[in-house]
């Protein structure tokens, strides 16, 4: 049974109002196909099937017969020249609306000879949003942490460890081998699993060369591929006061809490595990609703750190977002710890809002730390404010 997903369905309909071509991207099993099938009045074509691929031997004839239609071209990278038909449709068949799906950005692979600049809208389908959990069988946040946000795995009755392993194998076989020139399976998968286990930590390429048995240059190439295919998110430091701040070391996050738990060997969650997984979930919410990679963190050379920094390029204000799983301990010590970090940041960047996003906040409230005003807020209200 297809599950209604209003946020994503509305995003697609709005994108179609602006362009006739949508590039729907996201990792394997994130739900691209089922989302497309949930849209009204669409014709679905699975490009993995040889009989479907034959239809595109004459792309103009195919498109001419689809005037006024809404088409889904799933796994379009299986076509010989996938960008040709999309460019042809955009330029000459304006009544045909198309969603093409893929597991990477359009320009990530040499298979796409044209990135369709100015002809398409891109939508990045992320793992399940917090507001969607109940519709997929469980509103329990710890379930979301442990089972992850891939719809079919989230709906499992028990922790889907074998499915996580199968996902990693399929990612190698169907995404990496078909789109990229990567020859060392052991090294690539080892690096992928190490990064997933390292989620939320700072990245240093030299730490991975020995266990993965590859060079630093290859490590950086693999990292780019993992980012292009949305398996790893790279959060770069925000800095304009270089003598005092970390300016180069990025942080890496796995795309899904379930895969992170699997890579870490967590079959059950402890209290101390919640903070990292909550941080990863908040990042997923920001990616989904803002549809951007332009999210930073901040750290100075004294070790004071801000989880996420958003820049409003219109007025140059910087929004601070700190992630705390629970506010039950939001006494003076917690306020002081959070406030000290934000105060250090605001000494250099005074303009902007200060948020602490927590899982147990139903209605926002404010606390003061010296001259700072800090707003404790729910993920839903945070998104409403930062996306205005």
Distance CA 234, CA 293 (A): 8
25 bridge partner residues: 102, 124
pLDDT in tens, 300-356: 989 999 999 999 877 789 999 999 999 875 567 777 889 999 999 999 999 999 999
Tokens 């926002």 — which residue? 364
pLDDT higher than 90, residue 46: yes
Query: Among 32-46, 66-80, 93-107, whose mean pLDDT is lowest?
Result: 93-107
Concatenating the DSSP letter of every residue in 52-115 gives: HHHHTTSHHHHHHTTTT-EEEEETGGGSSSHHHHHHHHHHH-TT-EEEEEESS-TTSSTT-S--
At 174 the pLDDT is 87
pLDDT average, residue stretch 360-366: 93
Q: Rounded mean pLDDT of the chain?
A: 92
- pLDDT of 329 reads 58
Q: What is the mean pLDDT of the segment spanning 353-380?
A: 94
Q: Check for a shared fold between 6-124 and 137-236+247-269.
A: no
Query: Higher pLDDT residue, 380 or 105?
Result: 380
How high is the pLDDT of residue 331? 60
pLDDT > 80? residue 364 = yes
Indicate whether 234 pLDDT > 60: yes
Q: What is the pLDDT of residue 107?
A: 64
pLDDT at 237 over 90: yes
Average pLDDT rounded to a whole number, residues 56-79? 94
Sequence ranges of the domains in the chain: 6-124, 137-236+247-269, 304-386
**Cβ contact 71:45 at 8 Å:** yes
Third-level CATH fold of 137-236+247-269: Arc Repressor Mutant, subunit A (1.10.10)
Enumerate residues 6+ apart whose C-beta is below 8 A from 358: 323, 324, 325, 326, 327, 376, 377, 378
Q: What is the number of alpha carbons within 13 Å of residue 230 lying toward its C-beta? A: 26
pLDDT for res 334 = 77
Instruction: Tell me which of 373 and 179 has the higher pLDDT.
Output: 373
pLDDT tens track for 122-174: 999 999 999 999 999 999 999 999 999 999 999 999 999 999 999 999 999 98
Dihedral of alpha carbons 227, 258, 249, 387, sign: positive
CB 226 within 8 A of CB 192: yes
> Domain 6-124 belongs to what topology?
Rossmann fold (3.40.50)
310 vs 268: CA distance, rounded Å:
33
Give the pair of three-digit tokens for residue 333.
């010590």
Residue 245's pLDDT band (cuts 50, 70, 90):
confident
322, 298 contact by CB (below 8 A): no
Q: List residues bridging with 201 in a β-sheet.
A: 252
């Amino acid at each position: 049974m297809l599950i209604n997903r209003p946020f994503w369905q509305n995003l697609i309909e709005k994108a179609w109002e602006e362009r006739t071509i949508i590039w729907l991207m996201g990792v394997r099993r994130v739900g691209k196909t089922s989302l497309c099938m949930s849209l009204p009045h669409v014709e679905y074509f699975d490009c993995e099937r040889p009989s479907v691929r034959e239809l595109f031997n004459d792309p103009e004839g195919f498109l001419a017969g689809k005037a006024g239609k809404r088409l889904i071209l799933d796994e379009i990278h299986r076509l010989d020249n996938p960008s040709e038909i999309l460019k042809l449709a955009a330029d000459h068949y304006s009544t045909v609306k198309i969603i093409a799906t893929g597991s990477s950005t359009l320009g990530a692979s040499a298979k796409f000879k044209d990135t369709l600049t100015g002809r398409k809208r891109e939508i990045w389908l992320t793992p399940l949003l917090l507001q969607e959990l109940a519709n997929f069988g469980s509103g329990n946040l710890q379930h979301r942490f442990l089972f992850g946000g891939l719809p079919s795995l989230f709906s499992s009755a028990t922790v889907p460890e074998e499915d996580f392993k199968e996902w990693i194998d399929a990612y190698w076989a169907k995404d990496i081998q078909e789109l990229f020139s990567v020859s060392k399976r052991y090294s690539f998968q080892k690096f992928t699993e190490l990064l997933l286990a390292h989620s939320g930590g700072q990245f240093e390429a030299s730490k991975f060369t020995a266990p993965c048995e590859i060079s630093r240059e290859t490590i950086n190439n693999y990292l780019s591929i993992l980012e292009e295919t949305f398996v790893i998110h790279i959060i770069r430091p925000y800095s304009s006061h270089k003598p005092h701040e970390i300016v180069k070391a990025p942080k890496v996050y796995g795309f899904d809490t379930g895969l992170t738990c699997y890579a870490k060997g967590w079959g059950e969650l402890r209290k101390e595990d919640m903070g990292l997984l909550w941080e990863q979930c908040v990042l997923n919410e920001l990616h989904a609703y803002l549809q951007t990679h332009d999210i930073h963190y901040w750290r100075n050379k004294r070790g004071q750190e801000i989880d996420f920094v958003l820049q409003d390029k219109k007025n140059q204000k910087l929004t601070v977002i700190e992630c705390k799983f629970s506010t039950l301990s939001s006494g003076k010590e917690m306020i002081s710890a959070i406030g000290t970090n934000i105060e250090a940041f605001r000494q250099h960047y005074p303009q902007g809002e200060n948020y602490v996003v927590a899982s147990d906040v139903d209605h926002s409230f404010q606390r003061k730390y010296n001259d700072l005003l800090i707003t404790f807020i729910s993920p839903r209200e945070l998104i409403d404010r930062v996306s205005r």
